[in-house]
């Protein structure tokens, strides 16, 4: 079976339009619009808002099962834990709502953002940890599902329905964006695969029993609960994908993955965020 899967992956790697090469010298908005038009031509029956469903958009039966699960989400108590963390005062007596823009409401779609003062990309998890350290607490581990994972899962419910609104303004921001784009389209690992091979060139194709999701819409719903109440953050998913192509992965929270998330999120600009979703 492993040999069959490997041969399938290698064959898929050679297919497609290689969007990264096509848009190598394009700006962020041109990159995004090229992808929008590419998928519009590839999947003419899909509405743009369907892309927030990821692979579910291609499978009516799976979408029906998803709707049934979401009537009584198996992870509801986990969101309650995140709400408790959110409302628990920090050592200074302040809460996260006191030190985040707009009390933490309707801001998740603005992240990741490029912080000119720090000359780097800041993710929502970074913003939470900055709030913690400035109020006398230790920073959480970036991808810990039991702390910052639950906290961001709840926090994103405060931005449910907000449209993704990533901005790339200035030389530093553009450099970070281009680095993220390079990571997305750059081949890596023993299987010589890129993110774009799966999620642009072969979106909608099955590998084993799973459909590959398109890059557009992917960043709108993380962290996600997988297989019940098991929470996974977006950057932990990056680690998993890199391991799947037999590449030594960076760690969640690295500059490379922050830049990748910056590019990745920009590709979903204009789509609504959907917090606390279930994925297989």
Alpha carbon separation from 214 to 36, 57, 204 (Å, rounded): 10, 10, 7
Q: How far apart are CA 184 and CA 186, in angstroms?
A: 6
- Under DSSP, the state recorded for 251 is P
Q: Are 153 and 83 in contact (CB under 8 A)?
A: no
User: Which of the residues 131, 195, 198, 241 is marked catalytic?
Assistant: 241
Catalytic, 195? Answer: no
- Under DSSP, the state recorded for 8 is H
- DSSP string of 42-60, one letter each residue: H-TTS-GGGGGGGGGGG-H
Residue 21, CA atoms < 13 Å, CB-side half-sphere: 7
- Please list the active-site residues: 241
């Amino acid at each position: 079976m492993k040999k069959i899967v490997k041969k399938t992956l290698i064959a898929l790697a050679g297919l497609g339009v290689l969007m990264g090469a096509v848009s190598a010298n394009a700006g962020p908005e041109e990159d995004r619009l090229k992808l929008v038009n590419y998928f519009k031509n590839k999947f003419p029956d899909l509405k743009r808002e369907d892309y927030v469903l990821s692979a579910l958009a291609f499978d009516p039966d799976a979408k029906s099962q998803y709707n049934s699960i979401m009537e009584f989400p198996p992870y509801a108590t986990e969101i309650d834990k995140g709400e408790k963390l959110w409302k628990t005062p920090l050592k200074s007596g302040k809460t996260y709502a006191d030190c985040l823009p707009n009390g933490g409401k309707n801001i998740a779609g603005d992240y990741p953002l490029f912080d000119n003062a720090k000359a780097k990309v800041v993710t929502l998890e970074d913003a939470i940890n900055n709030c913690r350290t400035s109020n006398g607490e230790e920073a959480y581990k970036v991808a810990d599902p039991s702390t910052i994972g639950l906290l961001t899962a709840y926090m994103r419910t405060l931005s449910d329905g907000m449209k993704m609104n990533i901005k790339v303004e200035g030389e530093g921001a553009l450099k970070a964006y281009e680095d993220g784009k390079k990571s997305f389209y750059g081949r890596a690992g023993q299987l010589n695969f890129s993110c774009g091979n799966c999620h642009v060139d072969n979106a909608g194709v099955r590998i084993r029993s799973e459909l590959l999701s398109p890059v557009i819409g992917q960043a709108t719903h993380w962290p996600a609960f997988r297989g019940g109440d098991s929470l996974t953050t977006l950057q932990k998913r990056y680690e998993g994908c890199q391991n799947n192509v037999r590449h030594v992965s960076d760690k969640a929270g690295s500059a490379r993955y922050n830049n990748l998330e910056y590019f990745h999120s920009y590709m979903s600009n204009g789509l609504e965020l959907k917090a606390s979703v279930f994925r297989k």
